[in-house]
Chains A and B, each alone.
Chain A
Amino acid sequence: MAPYEEAKAGNRIEAGNEAEDAPSRGRKAARYAAPAVVIGLTVATIGLVPAFAGSGDPDLPKISAQELIEKIAASDVQQLSGTVKISTDLGLPDLGGLESGLLSGGLGGGSDDSGSAADPSAKLLELATGTHTVRVAVDGPDKQKLSLLEKAAEYSVIHNGDEVWAYDSASNEAYHATAPASESGKGEDKGEDKDRILPGDDASATPGQLAEEALKAVDDTTSVTVDGTAQVAGRDAYKLVITPKASGSTVGAISIAVDSKTGTPLKFTLTPASGGAAVVDVGFVDVDFGKPAASTFDFTPPKGTKVTEEGGTKASEDTDKAENKAGEDFAKDFDKEFGEDLKGLEGHEGAPDGLEDDGVKVIGEGWNSIAMFDSGMEGGVPSAESSPDAGAFGGFLDSFGDKASGDFGSGTVFKTRLINALMTDDGKLYVGAVTKDALVKAANAQQ
């Protein structure tokens, strides 16, 4: 029959014959080599490509720390869009499903209206653990957008002119607020407010002066150096490393990668003194300094979307305040990418600044400052920095605490990889980014 002849005549003949014959054992093994080779190649590719991609720091002219800070201060990047990866490992227990219950039941419990899934304050806590991908787009001081990418959903905060929208696509709910510059209590305009303040507003001082002052201000507590270069999001960057001089702080080093061309901070890494993985690692994975499309910032809730107006939550401003403080810390981290490190740094160093007016005493200075609360533990929100865990479920936390004792009596120490807190049995609370020993010492000194 014709088909046979054809197949034999063709150059497929070998394969055909081979297949039809009972293959020898050796040939059989040879066939199985094919999938093995594919697997081998894949493993090699996965293993080797990152190794090659990571090598070779860019070759940039040497620069001093002061010059680099000048560069940051002089940066006038108004337009940018990109993707940011945020990894946080505070050493908190994995909140997992708890965090949503916590949000509606604990922190957000002030009023039922605040239960909107699109309420920005409800989302901040999610950033406290794990790895998240965030997209940012900035076009001048009036237009910003921040989107948290979730599984098959997205949470966006959009600031366009005097309107602020937050949209949660998973629940199809939106949150609307107007954005007067004076209103500072709301978590979502933190970044934007600062954005306005920073690069442009300090017109009185030149970047050079600013840098000098900033360095001088931190001189006795902190060392600031430029530690080589790195490649971040495909751009050449300098690495600015900030290390506390005194011991006792849990902060090992803060490293900021600064774009060599625009002076924009591209990556922020906080490594703990105890070593190990970074506590906070925020950095662009891709960045574009072009103008984002105008449509990016347009938001009109489609009909059927549940819109919560800002006014709905005003009644519970007090609880809001506590929440927003918790958020402030993270907002600060965000700020870093938006280009205002100096403020952020000072804020970090003097973290208790904002707390003083709440009847809080600050012990020590610089990195080792410890905030002391005397108000007693029942119901009190401990502090901005520890409230993601401590504020909401204090009783539950007892199971995580270690007992500590000293001249001050005895108490419980709650540890994370960055912030430690000591709650004494007589109701005093010491919180700081310091080691347990330093907390005990501070408590002893207070007796």
Chain B
Amino acid sequence: MSQAEQAETEAAPPRTQKAPPRPNPLWTLSLFRSELAITFRRWRTLALLAVLAAVPIVVGIAVKIETSDGSSAAGGGPGGGGGGGGGPAFISQISNNGLFLVFTALAATLPFFLPMAIGVIAGDAIAGESSAGTLRYLLVAPAGRTRLLLTKYATTLTFCLVATLVVAISALTVGAFLFPLGDLMTISGTSISFAEGLGRALLIALVVAASLIGVAALGLFISTLTSSGIAAMATTVGLLITVQILDQIPQLSALQPYFFSHYWLSFADLMREPVYWDDLVKNLGIQALYAAVFGAAAWARFTTKDITA
């Protein structure tokens, strides 16, 4: 049972009705739909999402326990002069407003958990089919390699969005359950209403999801290089860790603006008043650049390679 079979059976009805001269765009959509269904029905995917959903729960409970004796999280450390050096961004505000748990959870998962999950999905995209021996059957279907690659990439991006929203919604639920909600203060010190805060949270979730575009493209490219799914996943996650480490080395500051992870934390700029767009724009630009470069490289590789399995 390969995707190709599913795709065909799903694609059949619209074609018999219309029989248009050009390839029906719905055909691509149905391939996409079947890819989505296969991806999200995997136990592996569900386990990844469960881990992501658990992060805000753990953070929320930890903050709740720490602040139950009246002290505030983070800032109260000895000296305090450095100013909240420990913990992810926004953690000191959680106990006052549960909405901040969304921001903290995203800040906590963005450096590692989220991209790791994306790396697994993206790395598996082509190489997984290859190692399972299903890739050649997929290519027997008249989708063409380019379209199959696009579908795989679209599926991975959908997973980026879903994974981010899972973190955000889990955090919002836990935050509402454990802490008070209400008007909140931007990090610039101005107040905004809870509704606007929710809007910003949604915007932040979208930006975080968009921040993963680069990793997704990189993972897809690596996935076209090998026919071992595990190797592709491990390489993607390994690269992710390497880049994160290199991003911390001051001597490499000239290179760092070109790392896909360099501007990840810029999503916090959406909590400034007025919003500081510079780094956000740079972040999205970098992601687009990675998508273009590695997307093109993946295309070049995938459309020319010999499919042996």
Contacts and interface: CB of A to CB of B under 8 A. Distances in A.
Interface stretch (B33-41, B44-52, B76-84, B169-177): B76-84
Contacts of A33: 300
Interface string A243-276: 0000000000000000000000000000000000
B304 A12 contact: no
B246 interface: no
A367 interface: no
B190 A298 contact: yes
Give the contact-size bracket for chain B: 35 or more
Nearest to B15: A2
B199 interface: no
A83 B188 CA distance: 13
Instruction: Give the residue among B21, B22, B82, B93 with the most A Cβ atoms within 10 A.
Output: B82
B89 interface: yes
Contacts of B147: 12
Contacts of B211: none
Interface string B268-298: 1000110010000000000001001110110
B259 interface: no
Given A28-B304, A171-B75, A152 B81 contact: no
A117 B80 contact: yes
Interface stretch (B114-122, B136-144, B157-165, B236-244): B136-144
B188 A117 contact: no
A172 B75 contact: yes
A164 to B, nearest CB: 12
Interface string B15-26: 110000111100
B83 A300 contact: no
Contact of B300 (A32, A118, A135, A173): A32
A56 B297 CA distance: 39
B84 A171 contact: yes
Given A165-B189, A170-B83, A172-B92, A31 B276 contact: no
Interface residues of A, number: 70
A249 to B, nearest CB: 31
A141 interface: no
Contacts of A39: 293
Interface string A126-143: 000000010100000000
Contacts of A158: 189
B81 A108 contact: yes
Nearest to A19: B145
A304 B139 CA distance: 60
A443 B157 CA distance: 70
Instruction: Give the residue among A11, A38, A152 with the most B Cβ atoms within 10 A.
Output: A152
B59 interface: no
Contacts of B81: 100-101, 103-104, 108, 115, 117, 122
Given A7-B144, A32-B300, A302 B89 contact: no
6 contacts: A3-B15, A9-B21, A23-B304, A117-B83, A151-B265, A152-B268
Given A171-B83, A173-B80, 4 more contacts: A7-B144, A10-B22, A172-B92, A296-B190
